[in-house]
Chains A and B, each alone.
Chain A
Amino acid sequence: MWFFAIPGYLFPAPSVIWAEMVENAGMIWGHTLATTRTVALGFIASIVISLPLAVAITSSPLMANTIYPFLVLTQSIPKVALAPILVVVMGANELPRVVITFLVAFFPLVLATAAGLQSVPAELIELGRACRASRWKELIRIRLPYAVPFVFSGLKAAVTLSVVGAVVAEFVNADRGLGYLIVTSTAFFEVALAWAALIVLSVLGIVLFQIVAVVEHVLFPWSAGKT
């Protein structure tokens, strides 16, 4: 840093950032919890909505043609632009933040799950039919388990994007959270604090990703071994 003569107020030394982090540990922890809460709620909403959506999409070509355009529409809207509108519509509370997080995160999960449900070998479906299995049983016993490795690759993408979504939402409207901390600290030129928040955010992303990976490994070892 000294070598390139970058002023400390633009890119503070790691030691300065670390000192800032330690000094404000309690406050940063509070913001981290707030962001984690938004991320978790948005991520859970993604799972709860994406799985049935993927099942619906793969149930028939008609359903796929009906639902896909709407999905693509939700993805083509810039979330940063949508966030302030959602705040007006839903109020300055947690709800618009969760909705934005969900909108950023859910799409890859739907795509991955749908791809997984459709990747079942035709012969396995025939075997199910030969056993006179109902469509529900076919879904529960064959299609969904078969999709598990795909679902988890979608979940890994979604959990990382949830962090992005939560921060975007906090930029627009929040009184807590790491995104809010970055906006306020840079406004007061406390660059070291902003860097500290950024580092905590990336650690948060890595930790959440690893949690998903561990869950896959523990619950579905045959799936984790594949990817």
Chain B
Amino acid sequence: MIGIESVSKAFGARDGSQVVALQDVSLAFDRNEFVCLVGPSGCGKSTLLRLVAGLVEPSAGRVTIEGAAVDGPRADTGIVFQSPTLLPWASILDNVLFPARMMNVCTPDAVRRAHALLDLVGLAEFAGRHPRELSGGMQQRAGIARALVHQPDILLMDEPFGALDALTREELTLELLRIWSDQPKTILFVTHSIPEAVLLADRVVVLSPRPGRVADVVKVGLPRPRSFAMEAHDEFQRCAGRIRSLIFGDRATAA
């Protein structure tokens, strides 16, 4: 469904030199697949996400969705950022409706959908509240509902739980899996957390830094539905160990 074909991306640095964020990356993702992108800082995982979102253009190669080259933002992708970035002046309901408003598709149907999504993420009774009245975790739930309101086929998530405390993070991880089984979508999920990646993903793309390229793709053979109890599972340990050694080399496996 999503094709990344020999994509390179270089940014112009302030001193005029070129910084290569991604070099010759080729990947293919299936419909309704859950893919996590893991790698150290500077490996270009956020850049990869923004390429699929159509927010940046590749320097070489091309990104395709359903066979069509991505040449700008599309209506069938939704995006969630690390910080919830809700509009402080708008109610939670209006925040969720924001993409629909921006795309001029704020129909009564969209409003019904927004209410259903708020129900799905457990914020039904907070529809009329303002972002500052909500905790960080609740704000990020609203951010997820916002990304889903225009019924995208693809959900792009850039370290969505990175700014949350550990407990909220686990809670939202399970919640995301529940949402995904309720509304199947292709999800690209950028994270720094190896356990999080293994628990969520069908496949984990491990990127290595400077220049960013694919170190390997690890297939996670854990059954679904998943839970944190699976961290003790052999397959979980095997995948996590594999990813760790890809990122840190033999240092991690020796320890």
Contact = CB atoms under 8 A, between A and B. Distances in A.
B79 A128 contact: no
Interface of A: 121, 123-124, 126-133, 137, 141-142, 145-146, 148, 220, 222-223, 225-226
Main secondary structure of the interface of B (DSSP, over half): loop
Interface stretch (B21-29, B98-106, B213-221): B98-106
A137 B99 CA distance: 12
Contact of B79 (A126, A141, A148): A126
B88 interface: yes
Interface of B: 50, 53-55, 72-73, 75, 77, 79, 81-83, 85, 87-89, 98-99, 101-103, 130, 132
B81 A130 contact: no
Contacts of A124: 85, 87
Nearest to B86: A124
A226 B73 CA distance: 33
A177 B53 CA distance: 61
A46 to B, nearest CB: 24
Given A131-B73, A145-B89, A123 B99 contact: no
A130 to B, nearest CB: 5
Given A123-B82, A130-B99, 12 more contacts: A121-B83, A123-B85, A126-B81, A127-B79, A127-B99, A130-B53, A130-B79, A131-B103, A132-B72, A220-B89, A223-B89, A226-B88
A130 B150 CA distance: 12
Main secondary structure of the interface of A (DSSP, over half): helix
Contacts of A220: 89
Contacts of B132: 222, 225
B247 to A, nearest CB: 26
